[in-house]
Amino acid sequence: MFIYIYVYYLRCTFSAPTSYPFDLFLFKLSVQEKSESNFNREMTACCGTRWSPVSDQVEAAAAVPIAAIHPDIVRAHILTRLDGLSLAASSCASAQLNALSSDDILWRDVCAATWPSTRDPLVRRAVSSFPSGHRSFFSDSYPLLHHPPKSSRQRLNYDRRPSPTAGLIFAVDIFYKDELVLSKVQSTETESGWFRFSPFRVDLLEPEESVAPASVIPRSSSESAEAEAEWFKQLEDNLKLSWIVIDPIINRAVNLSSRHAVSIRRHPLTGNVQVRYNTVVAGEPQRGSAAEVVQFGTKVTFTAGKSKGGSGGEGLEVAEVSLQVEDMEGRNLNGRDSLVILRKAMEEGGRKRGERGSGEAKDRFKEFKEMKRERKRRQNRTEMAVDSAWAASWAIIMVAFWSYILFR
């Protein structure tokens, strides 16, 4: 397959220098190993001709090895046009491609295209100290975090030591239909007593600050329940968030967002639209603890606003973007405990691509809510049993007391 790809690449490059999308298209198909039928169909849509393994171009270059393609051509005209997943896949194809795709500049550009906030100098300085630079950063940040509770044996080796980090960096990007709505970088110190013993909460915007993202996020055009439900579904499908946390001490990063919203509701009093993104991870090792499983929840609040420039139809403004850590009793964890859990998630948590989109994140969110309800039911049953025991004890005491008074 690679022989055919490079044949077409050379033909398109030297016969039609402006026809670059065609050669990139073929390369990406080879990396993803599409079937021949799909390949023929997409070749026809792309350039109007069917691909044939017995074509004259292929026969003429059948003896051309991949190594004969100049590395500068591969680096400048192919690898620079791949997204992160395709670039990672190409590195597994051959030793030559693995060497070429390890260029940190390639991965820096991929990260900047995926998360515009990574262009910030603060982020780039932190990422430069990662073992493989931006490639390690992409590997940590792109897939969804998967860090379920540990087994009984793993719990015995749980490290309760506080995180050694002196500060965290947060890189946040919000997109609507692949158009950037908000991109911001913020840092916070983690050594003061105020941070360690106060509830862990990060507010990306100031209290009076709001972001008007042009007219890219339209408001609901109808007040009916059916229209609003359809509008919420549109927001859920098109509104994506990335919240990357970078620890510059241990040189690791993690994306705490579910990418797709897990819950959208309208506040009953203010009418603001509240969108939640959620990642459920393992917490404390003690079985039965309220923090055995915790969720990193991001809430984005939208208010009614005008479109860009203050004219035109009404849209939505970003009024609040916040991150909190919540246990199964609905309490917010403090900074010290949150840092320990966050470090464990960074270092030991798996990464999954999340092929099912918002479905997998929603399932975890529903499971966490069910765990909270089940824990509440157990607490209620325990409290009722304790109350019944106290009532029975007082009844026995009163009966014994009056029996003593009356029959002595």
* Helices assigned H by DSSP within 186-250: 193-197, 225-238
CA distances (Å), origin 351, targets 127, 132, 146, 154, 288: 19, 17, 6, 19, 26
pLDDT of residue 245: 95
* Residue found by looking up tokens 């073929």 in the block: 26
Count the neighbouring beta carbons within 10 Å of the beta carbon of residue 230: 13
pLDDT of residue 8: 36
Query: In terms of Cα–Cα distance, which of 326, 328, 327, 325 is closest to 378?
Result: 328
| Mean pLDDT, 10 residues at a time, the chain of 408 residues | 38 36 38 44 46 48 61 83 86 83 91 94 94 93 80 51 80 91 92 90 83 66 78 89 94 91 89 91 80 90 64 71 91 91 87 63 81 80 86 87 79
pLDDT of residue 217: 77
pLDDT of residue 161: 61
**Mean pLDDT, the chain, integer:** 77
How buried is residue 15: exposed, middle or buried, by Cβ count under 10 Å (0-12/13-18/19+)? exposed
Query: In terms of Cα–Cα distance, which of 158, 155, 184, 181 is closest to 169?
Result: 184
pLDDT of residue 102: 87
Q: Distance (Å, rounded) from C-alpha 135 to C-alpha 283? A: 28
The model's pTM: 0.75
**Structural domain spans, the chain:** 2-102, 139-375
Whether the CB-CB separation of 298 and 257 falls below 8 Å is answered with: yes
